Chains A and B, each alone.
Chain A
Amino acid sequence: MAMLEVRGLEAFYGHTQALHGLDFDLEEGGITTILGANGAGKTTTLRSICGMVSNNGSITFDGEGLIGKATENIVRKGIAHVPEGRGTFVRVTTEENLRLGAFTVKGAKKIADGMERVYTYFPRLKERRNQQAGTLSGGEQQMLAVGRAMMLQPRLMLLDEPSFGLAPLIVKELFEILRTINQEEGVSMLLVEQNATLALGLADHAYLLETGRVVMSGTSDDIASDENVRKSYLGY
C-alpha cells in the first residue's frame, strides 16, 4: 500500500471546479513530483491534502482518510506543508518561526535537537536566528519554510514551488539540501514545480497535470524522455 493514496479527488473554489477526479500514489521514502502549467491544479492538489480547499473523493495517508479533517489535525499526522509564498511568520524571529514549526512536538530536548538539525542543514538560519523573519531574503525565507516544516518531524513533506522567485544558485543549493533531507531523515516528499527540469532531476516519480486531470504518470526518467513533455515542459 502506498503511503499516500489519492482517488477521484475533486476540488472546488466556490462554483469553479479545479480538480476533476485526480488519482495518484506516493510511495514511502520517495520523492514524487506533480508537473503542470499555471492553473493546472498543482497547488490545489497540495492544499486539498491539507484540507484547505473544499473537496471530495478520497485521500488516505497510511490507510487513514484525510478528507473532511481540519488542517491542524492533518498536519499532526506528520504531513508538513511548505506553502506557496513560504508562509513566513514575518513579525517574529527566525528562531521563533522554527519553534512554531515544532508546535505539535512535545519535549524541550526534542525541539532543541530538531533546531540543531535544521541549523546544520541551513547554517544561514543560525546566523539569522534572532532576526525578524520578515527581513530575511527570499532564499532565506524559503530555507526557513523548509526548516519550519522539518521541525514538525514529518513523514511527508509537501513542497509548493520552492524554486519560485529564487536565484538559480540558491535553487541548486536548496534542491541539494532537499535531496539530503529525503535521504538522511527519511522524509517522503511531494513536490509541485513549474520548473520541470529541476523537479524531474530531484524526483523519482512524476505526474503530469492538465486542467485538473492527470494526463501522464511514470518514473521521472520515463516522463523526461517523453517527446511531448520534452517539447511542452522541458523546452528542448
Chain B
Amino acid sequence: MDQFLQQTLSGLANGAIYASLALAVVMIYQAIDHFNFAQGEMAMFSTFIAWQLIAWGAPYWVAFVVCLAISFIGGMAIERIIFAPIHDAPALSHVVVFIALTLIFNAMAGFIWEFTIKEFPSPFPAELPFETKLIGPHEVGIVGITLIMLGMIYVFFRFTPIGLAMRAAAASPESARLVGISVKKMLGLGWGLAAAVGAVAGMMIAPVVFLEPNMMLGILLYGFAGAVVGGLTSPGGAVVGGFLMGVLEALAGTYVIGSELKLTFALVVIVAVLLFRPAGLFGRVVVQRV
C-alpha cells in the first residue's frame, strides 16, 4: 500500500511537469493548429539560461524570474520571425520548421554549454515540515509551483480582457479582427506564454533528471501524451491528461512494464487514444463543414 501511494504521489509530481508541457503545446495548437515539437527543446534551452544566471551568481528566484522574462520574449520572437511568415503555409512546412527548431535548440545548447550533465538546484527546503516517507520536498514543490502557475493562467484566460481576447483570436480570428483585436499580437503573446510555461516545467524537472541538452526528450513525449489524452482542444483537459500520464507512468513502471519500456508506453497511449478516441477525454469533436 505504501508503495502504491508513494508511486502515485511521485507520479503526480512528474505529472505536474507533463501537465505544464501539455498546456504549452495545447495553447499553441489552439492558436495555429499545429503541434509544436520544439516545445521541449525550448524549455530545455530556457533552463540552461537559468542555470547560467545562477552560475553567474544570481539568487535562484531572481534567475527564475529573469529566465521567465527571457523565455517569454524569446517565444514571441520565434512567432514573429519564424511562424508569422509561414502562417498560411501547409502543415508539412510547419512540421519541418518545428523539427529544425528542435535540432537548432538542441545543438545550440550543446555548443554553448556542452553535452555533459549539470546539476540544477532545487529552490525548495531539503526537508518537509512534516514527517513522511511518501513524497520528497522537491516533489511537493513541483506540484505546488505548477498548481500556482496553472491557477494564474486560468485566471488570466478566464477573467482578464486580454485573456478573453486571446481565446477569441484563437477561436475566430476574423471576428476578433472586427472588434479591433490584433490577432498577430495575440499569437505572439500566446507563444510567449507557452514558452514561459515550458521554462517553468524545465526548471522544475531539471533537479530530478539533471540538466543536459537531451533532458526533455522523454518528458516532452509524456507531455504530448497528456495533451492527446486530455484533448488538443481543451487546455483544462490537457492539464488533467498530463497529471494522469504521470500517475500512469509511475504505476505501470512499478507494477507492469518496468522502466525500460517507459517511452514506449507513452507512444502506445498516444496511438491508442488517436485510434479509439481522437478528440481525447475532454476535447470537442471537430466537425468540418464542406
Contacts and interface: CB of A to CB of B under 8 A. Distances in A.
B182 interface: yes
Interface in A81-123: 81, 83, 87-92, 96, 99-104
A172 interface: no
Contacts of B180: 72, 75-76, 103-104, 152
Contacts of B171: 89-91
Contacts of B161: 99, 103
B182 A72 contact: yes
A233 to B, nearest CB: 28
A31 B55 CA distance: 68
Nearest to A145: B175
A100 B182 contact: no
B107 interface: no
B78 interface: no
Interface string B239-273: 00000000000000000000000000000000000
Interface in B71-123: none
A92 B178 contact: no
B52 interface: no
Contacts of B5: none
Interface stretch (B147-155, B162-170, B193-201): B162-170
Contacts of A71: 177-178
A70 interface: yes
Given A72-B182, A101-B179, A148-B179, A52 B168 contact: no
A75 B182 CA distance: 11
Interface in B165-212: 165, 167-168, 171-172, 174-183
A146 interface: no
Contacts of B164: 92, 96, 99-100
A128 B172 CA distance: 21
Nearest to B165: A103
The B interface, classified by DSSP as helix, strand, loop or mixed, is: helix
B178 A87 contact: yes
A75 B179 contact: yes
A72 B168 CA distance: 14
A92 to B, nearest CB: 7
A99 B164 CA distance: 9
Contacts of B182: 70, 72
A87 B175 contact: yes
A75 B172 contact: no
Interface centre among A88, A103, A151 (most CB of B within 10 A): A103
Contacts of B172: 87-90
A75 to B, nearest CB: 4
A174 interface: no
A187 to B, nearest CB: 16
A104 B181 CA distance: 8
Nearest to B173: A71
A81 B178 CA distance: 6
A103 B180 CA distance: 7
A104 B177 contact: no
B178 A83 contact: yes
B178 A104 contact: no
Interface in B121-175: 161, 164-165, 167-168, 171-172, 174-175
A87 B174 contact: yes
Contacts of A148: 179
A33 B120 CA distance: 68
Given A99-B161, A103-B161, A75 B168 contact: no
A148 B171 CA distance: 17
A50 interface: yes
Interface of A: 50, 52, 70-72, 75-76, 80-81, 83, 87-92, 96, 99-104, 148, 151-152
Given A71-B178, A92-B167, 20 more contacts: A50-B178, A52-B177, A70-B182, A72-B181, A75-B177, A80-B178, A83-B178, A89-B168, A96-B164, A100-B164, A100-B179, A101-B179, A102-B179, A103-B165, A103-B180, A103-B181, A148-B179, A151-B179, A152-B179, A152-B180
Interface of B: 161, 164-165, 167-168, 171-172, 174-183
- Nearest first, the 5 closest Cβ-Cβ pairs linking A and B are A87-B175, A104-B180, A71-B177, A75-B180, A81-B178
8 contacts: A72-B177, A75-B179, A81-B178, A91-B171, A92-B164, A92-B168, A99-B164, A100-B164
